[in-house]
A and B are shown apart, each in its own frame.
Chain A
Amino acid sequence: MKMRILTFAIFIATISPIVNAQATFELWVGSRIDAALDRAQNVVASDQIKVERNGKGSDRQKESPSTDSRSTSLVDQSSATDFFSLAANVIPVTPGLSQFTSSTGTTMSNSSTTGSTTATASLYALIVAFNKKSPTDPQFYKDHAFSRQLSFTIGTSASDQTKDNTTTPATVYGTKYLVINRRELYSKSSIKALQEARSFVRKAFEADTKLKPAIEILIFAALHPADVATDGKADTTKFGDFLINELSPTKYLATVNELSPETLKQIDALIENSLDVFQAERIAVQNAYDKISKGMQVSVSYTANIRDPKGNNDHRAELIFDYGLSSRINWTFNASGDYTDRKMALDSKGGRAATEFQGNLTKSDSAWGRGPIQISFSGEAKWLTGVKPQYTFQAKLTIPISTGIDLPIAYQYANRTAQLNQTSSEAHLGLSIDVSRLFQALK
């Protein structure tokens, strides 16, 4: 019995390319081309091809600005959403969690239990709303590329009595301007990359429109040799009937199952002859994608946390730099000037430098689909007058719940307790909604 099952399993595995039938004859040919490309790729072992860069936009900032102590972003990204996004730091630090993760054992619980929430919209989103246009209208999107460089943030940020002199949440105001954006599809460098990819798509089109008819004639000649003249020309009427009847979606499978192993080898040989063009197309499209998605971005931003009359106000002017180090790793650097306007003590002025390496653990569904699972490691050094230097480290895991909705979980460790509301280590949980992606998913 076991032998029979094993034999059946081997049989299924052997014929699986036929059993797992494609819907049409063209898809059947396409699967053979893909298989040949994959085989060639393994031989070449080209990491140029085997890149699984995630959808554009996965490294945009959807979380609250770093000025918010509850934010799961220790480092700000250079670009915000194209349209509108919401970020909620829904779970403030719990004493239990802090105590569990505290390395000092002197953890104190946070006196404030409120979370924080911010909303970010690009100027483009506002123009779309005023003009009552679809945000994904291609022409409108193209004509208003400049308006995606500017974004605004508004929201609330948690306050702490010790640090902020009030427990009333601050109002967050922020703006960000993308000075250099080489990830914009309509930038000169992106257009050049797309034109190059297009030229390879055209070449593959030319090869494919010769290859597939050649395969069809080969099969016709193999199954109907009497209808093919000695010079290789098929009877056009009978060949037309063959295409309509025997290669139709419902009958092609029976037709290809009749082919001898020799004919299948000839089909694969024809495919092999065109493989270079298809491989070049794959590489060109991948290169264009990498070139655009790894492009450098530089932005300037300003964020203010404004509190009630007795509370301290925080201001941050920031330069943000983003660069794709590889197909999966994005590097971000922040340099900022910070100013804390204190009502009951001397003001603090100083600077801050922060950096983050963000890696994609999985592939996103598509450019506008569910984002990838991301892991990031970041560090921040902050020097303020009247305060000892503060160094913070953060590890963060971002889990996409569905298209447009992410759950960031962050762990922070700081050398000084004051910066983290009197705890030396904290866990943060947030929720970010990228309305642009959600909109696409619900369309």
Chain B
Amino acid sequence: MAITRTPVVENPGAVRVSVGSGQFLHFVVDAGGPIPIFVFGSNVKGVLFDAADFPGHPLPRYEWDHLKNLSDTQQLEFLQLRMSFLTNTNYTYTVQLKDSSGVLSTVLQIGYVGSPTDIQPESFTVVIVP
């Protein structure tokens, strides 16, 4: 267990999102290769994305949006990205708060370098505000 975790913007643990005013979260996972292994999801919906589900996997960059669809919103949803370093030494995980005008803020941005048997979860809770 020897993960080097380098936060550029530290994970706040919880983030307020005003879904009603069009805010949503944009996720970016940059991977060093050759085969990134990660899952993303929540305590409410289970696994939403597996790296292998992305067209063109393995990729140097994976991107997706969350909470763009109003029906997806769930108060106090706990979101987690769980990364395995088995076949990918380094990851950079970025979450941005966005709306139709663009990026409002960077929620978190963290770099990781790990050994093959390392596992790193990174989680936060979404607090929906009116």
Contact = CB atoms under 8 A, between A and B. Distances in A.
Interface stretch (A21-29, A160-168, A313-321): A21-29
Contacts of B19: none
B75 to A, nearest CB: 6
A20 interface: no
Contacts of B115: 55, 363-367, 369
Nearest to B126: A240
Interface string B47-71: 1001010001011100000000000
A263 B52 CA distance: 39
A205 B51 CA distance: 14
Given A289-B116, A440-B89, A201 B58 contact: no
B20 to A, nearest CB: 15
Nearest to B14: A243
Contacts of A139: 56, 58-60
Given A24-B11, A138-B34, A197-B84, 14 more contacts: A24-B13, A26-B123, A56-B116, A142-B58, A194-B37, A213-B125, A240-B14, A240-B127, A243-B127, A248-B12, A286-B117, A366-B85, A367-B87, A367-B115
Interface string A271-313: 0000000000110011011000000000000000000000000
Contact of B13 (A25, A136, A288, A364): A25
Contacts, number: 163
A383 interface: no
B60 A138 contact: yes
Nearest to B43: A209
A48 B128 CA distance: 44
Contacts of A210: 43
Interface of B: 1-2, 5, 7, 10-16, 31-37, 39, 41-43, 46-47, 50, 52, 56, 58-60, 75-76, 78, 80, 82, 84-87, 89, 113-117, 119, 121-123, 125, 127
A85 B33 CA distance: 20
A368 interface: yes
A409 B89 CA distance: 29
A137 B43 contact: no
A436 B87 CA distance: 15
Given A56-B116, A209-B80, A213-B43, A136 B33 contact: yes
Given A23-B10, A30-B121, A198-B52, A209 B34 contact: no
B116 to A, nearest CB: 5
B33 A365 contact: no
